[in-house]
Amino acid sequence: MKLKLVPDDTNINFVGMRFVAFIFSVLVVAGSLFLVTTKGLNFGIDFTGGTVIEVRVSDTPDTGALRTELNELDLGGVSLQEFGEPNDLMIRLPQQPEAEEARQERMACLADHSQSSDGCPKSPQQLAIEKVSSALDAKFGEGNVEYRRTEYVGPQVGEELKKAGGLAILWSLVGILAYIWFRFEWQFGVAAIVALAHDAVATIGFFALTQMQFDLSTVAAVLMIAGYSINDTVVVFDRVRENMRKYKKKPLPELFNLSVNQMLSRTLMTSLTTLLALFALYIFGGEVIRGFVDALIFGIAIGTYSSIFVASPVLIYLNVRRSDVVDESTEEAAEQAG
C-alpha cells in the first residue's frame, strides 16, 4: 500500500492565491531587509574575530550565573553555552581592542625575540583569555578545569571570511540562473532566481530577528537551502514544460495549477522526510550545529512555500508563451509524418 500525502485528484488553486502569497512574500522580504539594516546580524567569531575556548569542568555549572560572572570581567559580550555534556562549555570572547601604537610595539618586540616571546607585552586577547582562565579556576578550583581547545580568529581574517561568504551566496545565485537559463527558457531562470532570492533573504532575516549567531556554518546552510529550493523548483518547472507541450489549448494559469498539484505529493514528501532528519539533528546534535540546523529547518519550510506559491505564479507575469517551449513547426511535421 502506497503512502499518499495528497490525493491524485487534488486541485488547489495556488495560482488564484498568488496575490495573497505575493503580499505575504513582499512583507517577509521587506521585513527581513528592515531587520538586517536596523538590528543587523549577530555575527559569530568567524566574521568578527575573537577567541573560542572549549573547557570541561568537574561539576555541572549554573550556566546562567557563570555567564553573568564572565560578563562582569569587562571583556565585552562573552558568550557561554553547553557543548555536548552539561559540564562541557564553549566560551566565546569578542575581539579585544588594541591601540595601533601598542600593537606595533608588541609586534616589534616579537620580531626581536623570534625564538621566545618572553619579556614582550601580551596582546589584549591573551590577557582576556588569562582573565577567563583565572575566573574559571577560582570558581571550580585549580586542576578541575580542563582546557580542551583555544582558537583565535583575527579581525582581518573575519572581514575576509565575511566578504567570501557574501560572494559565495551571490555567485551561487548567478550559477543557478545560468543553469536554469540553459536548461529552460529565460523566463524560468528569472522566476527561479526570484524564488531563490526570496528564500535567502527570508532566512537571513530570520537570523536578524532571532539574533542567533550568524557564522560560516550558517552561510553553508543558506547555500544548501538554495540548492534544495532550486531542485524542487526545477521539478515543478519540468512538469510545467511537459504540460505546455501536452495541453496546447489549456489557459496558462490552469496549466500552472495542474503542474503544481501534480508535483505536490512529491514536494511535501521530500520536505517532510528532510525535516524529520533535521529535527533529529536539532534534538541530538548539540549546540555546535544548532545554528546550522535552525537555518535549514526554516529554509526548507520557506523554500517549499516559494516553490509552490512564488516560482510558478511569477511565470504569469514574465509572459512565458507556448511558442517559447514548443517548436510548433517540428510538431506539425511529426504529426504529418505520423
Helix axes 290-306 and 186-210, enclosed angle (nearest 10): 140
What is the distance between the alpha carbons of residues 243 and 144, in angstroms, rounded to a whole number? 69
What architecture is domain 50-153? Answer: 2-Layer Sandwich (3.30)
Phi first, then psi: give them for residue 303, nearest 5 degrees: -70, -40
C-alpha cell at 283: 534534538
CA torsion angle 211 212 213 217 (round to 10): -140
Nearest to 192 by CA among 172, 218, 207: 172
- Is it the case that residue 2 has pLDDT exceeding 60? no
Range with the poorest average pLDDT among 27-41, 45-59, 99-113, 176-190:
99-113
- d(CA 280, CA 303) in angstroms, rounded, equals 20
Who wins on pLDDT, 333 or 158?
A: 158
Q: Is the pLDDT of residue 83 over 80?
A: no
- Which residues have C-beta within 8 Å of that of residue 271, sequence separation ≥ 6? 232, 300, 301, 304
Strand bridging mode 50-57 / 145-153: antiparallel
Q: Decide if pLDDT at 177 tops 80.
A: no
Neighbours of 47 (CB within 10 A): 25
Domain map (residue ranges) of the chain: 15-42+158-337, 50-153
Full-model pTM: 0.73
Over the stretch 273-331, which tens digit does the pLDDT of each residue have?
Answer: 888 988 988 888 766 677 888 889 998 999 889 888 888 888 888 877 766 666 544 44
* pLDDT at residue 332 greater than cutoff 60: no
Q: Measured between alpha carbons, how far is 86 from 302 in angstroms, rounded to an integer? A: 33
Q: Which residues pair with 127 in a beta bridge?
A: none
Q: Does the pLDDT of residue 14 top 50, yes or no? A: yes
Domain 15-42+158-337 superfamily per CATH: Multidrug efflux transporter AcrB transmembrane domain (1.20.1640.10)
Give the Cα separation of 290 and 208 in Å (integer). Answer: 16
**Do the domains 15-42+158-337 and 50-153 sit in the same CATH topology, yes or no?**
no
Class of residue 49 by CB neighbours under 10 A (exposed 0-12, middle 13-18, buried 19+)? buried
pLDDT in tens, 130-139: 888 888 888 8
Half-sphere exposure of 291 (CA within 13 A, CB side): 21
**pLDDT tens-place string over residues 188-208:** 888 888 888 899 899 999 999
CA distances from 140 to 72, 137, 143, 144, 272 (A): 17, 5, 8, 6, 45
